[in-house]
Amino acid sequence: MKKLNTRRLRYGANNTVLVAGAVIIFVLLNLAASALSEKFPATRIDMTENGMFKIGAATKGVLADLDESGDDVTIYYMKNQSDEFTEVKELVLKYLAASKNLKYKAVNYIRDPKFTERFADAAELSEGSLIVEDTTTDRSRVIRMEDMVDYAADGYSQSRTPSTLMLESRLTNALAYCIGRSEALACFSVGHQEANPNSMAEVLAEENITPMQIDLTSPVPENCGLLLIISPTLDFTAQEIENLDAYFDRGGSVQLAVEPTVSLPRLESYLAEWGVTLNNDYVLEGDARYGGAQYGIDLMYPQISSEAGDIIDTKSRVIGTLCRSVSVSDDPTGVVSHSVVFYTTKSGVSYNVANENDEGSEGVYNLCVTLEKTVGDKYDKTARFMVAGSSSFWGISNYQETNDNLLGRVFSEESFGNKSFFVGSVYSMMGLSGTKLTIAGKSLRSASLVVLTDSQKKLYRALFCYALPAVVVLLGLAVWLRRRHL
């Protein structure tokens, strides 16, 4: 009996040692793998369905430029109480793995408030925000936590939910800005009660294009790559028209949006020299698939011309509000050429603003056009002009304050293509298309499980709820019967 107990004890001890050893080895291997992956980020593998933590070719190109420049760049993570957010840290580690000149450091910005004082745009930082600093160029950019995500708006529930992770786009553009040696400049005209350009200026800044407000009573700055005149309500003076024409003569680019019912005689007279007429009407889309009254507002989803392929994907869905039509006449000299960007279906209806009883005229109407004009003493330069009958295509709307949930967020790539249109038109008209960093966001929405049929439900229930547990019990019973005398 004593011998039997000794054998049981020996076998039991061996099993315990083996199990304990296996657990210890497993834990040590996990700790070692975790430590190695922190030290060597390239060893980390992204197993997410949509490649949440992978970086694209555009990002790798910017990181290659960073290594070639030799700049000293650091990404600072603003930390307070909790550990780094997984979504942020995992992606940053991919950047570190792809660049030898990039560093990363977590900073407790609450305990060390003086750290952020040297960054001019670091106000109202929250935990998880990033600061990218290049000490070589003395440039920096702040990426706030709330800017890392795009939200989808629900017009019915009046709520916004996180839909797309935009961190790679924001971080790569910040790096490109910090290591950049030149600066693109876009100017907004003021002095004619133009629309507030804040949302447009923010988009330009994200694209590393510096926004600036200018008064056209003075000449347009020499380094201005694009002039934006968005929704003026006061006419231009003769001096302002002269400065505008001088800007075109040196190969300038201008984007102009004029709302329905607005009369600008002097500016419209200048447009006639380009062969452009802003018609005294407002246009509605009669095809219910592309427009109609929603939430008490007349909306339209304009047709996108194939001629606009270098500005916006023709499959995009751009939203617009009340718009006037734009007519363009052909230039027999060939100096001015034009193409259509947005237009209505053949069910578009034009109503004369001056006639309240006008029943409307049906047809296809141009809503936005682009023009090019050969200029310069030697006719070796090209002036570019975009004219639209509504600023809503740029994300500006007279209805924005009353229905902010719908129209105040048209720059959201998740919902509409207005931001793509704006960014694409800016790059095209400024001649920067070759430097555009097009980085799509990563969806945060979980994929739904495929719905099972009734027969499949019964099969899986029988398999996992009954058969598999029964097999485990039988195997356990067999092992017990075999070893019960040991």
β-sheet bridge partners, residue 254: 227, 385
Give pLDDT, residue 400.
45
Which pLDDT tens digit goes with each residue over 89-138? 888 888 998 898 899 999 888 888 888 888 877 777 888 899 999 999 88
**Two structure tokens written together for 39:** 């030290």
Which pLDDT tens digit goes with each residue over 238-287? 999 999 999 999 999 999 999 999 999 999 999 999 999 999 999 999 99
Give pLDDT, residue 369.
97
Give pLDDT, residue 30.
66
**Two structure tokens written together for 208:** 């590393």
Confidence of residue 205 (pLDDT cuts 50, 70, 90): confident
Give pLDDT, residue 402.
40
C-alpha span between 291 and 284 (Å, rounded): 8
C-alpha span between 387 and 93 (Å, rounded): 45
Same-domain pairing of 284 and 391: yes
Give pLDDT, residue 85.
80
Least confident of 167-181, 351-365, 367-381: 167-181
Residue 448 in domain? no
Mean pLDDT (the chain) is: 82
Confidence of residue 469 (pLDDT cuts 50, 70, 90): confident
For residue 403, give the 3-state DSSP assignment: coil
Same-domain pairing of 379 and 439: yes
Give pLDDT, residue 45.
54
On whether the CB atoms of residues 286 and 359 are closer than 8 A, the answer is no
Give pLDDT, residue 3.
52
On whether the CB atoms of residues 264 and 244 are closer than 8 A, the answer is no
Same-domain pairing of 5 and 125: no
Residue 52 in domain? yes
Tell whether the model's pLDDT for residue 8 goes beyond 70: no
What's the CATH code of the domain at 191?
3.40.50
Tell me how many domains the chain contains: 4
Tell whether the model's pLDDT for residue 447 goes beyond 50: no
Least confident of 151-165, 236-250, 251-265, 306-320: 151-165
Q: Which of 131, 155, 181 is the last residue of a domain?
A: 181
- Amino acid at the residue 435: T
Residue 107 in domain? yes
Highest-pLDDT range among 28-37, 51-60, 100-109: 100-109
Same-domain pairing of 217 and 149: no
Tell whether the model's pLDDT for residue 408 goes beyond 60: no
Tell whether the model's pLDDT for residue 82 goes beyond 80: no
Same-domain pairing of 72 and 165: yes
Give pLDDT, residue 217.
95
Same-domain pairing of 235 and 131: no
Give pLDDT, residue 437.
67
User: How many other C-beta atoms can be found within 10 angstroms of the C-beta atom of residue 380?
Assistant: 9
Tell whether the model's pLDDT for residue 414 goes beyond 70: no
C-alpha span between 346 and 364 (Å, rounded): 5
Under DSSP, the state recorded for 147 is G
Q: Which of 146, 181, 216 is the last residue of a domain?
A: 181
Look up the domain containing 467 and give its range: 453-486
On whether the CB atoms of residues 344 and 407 are closer than 8 A, the answer is no
Give pLDDT, residue 180.
81
More confident: 55 or 411? 55
For residue 224, give the H/E element and its range.
strand 224-230
Residue 340 in domain? yes
Query: What integer is the mean pLDDT of 402-411?
Result: 51
Tell whether the model's pLDDT for residue 375 goes beyond 70: yes
Same-domain pairing of 215 and 91: no
More confident: 483 or 330? 330
Under DSSP, the state recorded for 124 is T
Spatial neighbors of 236 by CB under 8 A, at least 6 apart, are 192, 216, 244, 264, 266, 267, 270
Task: Measure CA of the first residue to CA of the last residue in the chain; give whole Å.
Answer: 12
**Two structure tokens written together for 108:** 């407790």
Same-domain pairing of 196 and 269: yes
Q: Which of 111, 146, 181 is the last residue of a domain?
A: 181
On whether the CB atoms of residues 369 and 341 are closer than 8 A, the answer is yes
**Two structure tokens written together for 334:** 């060939």
On whether the CB atoms of residues 284 and 291 are closer than 8 A, the answer is yes
pTM above 0.85, yes or no: no
Give pLDDT, residue 393.
92
Tell whether the model's pLDDT for residue 327 goes beyond 90: yes
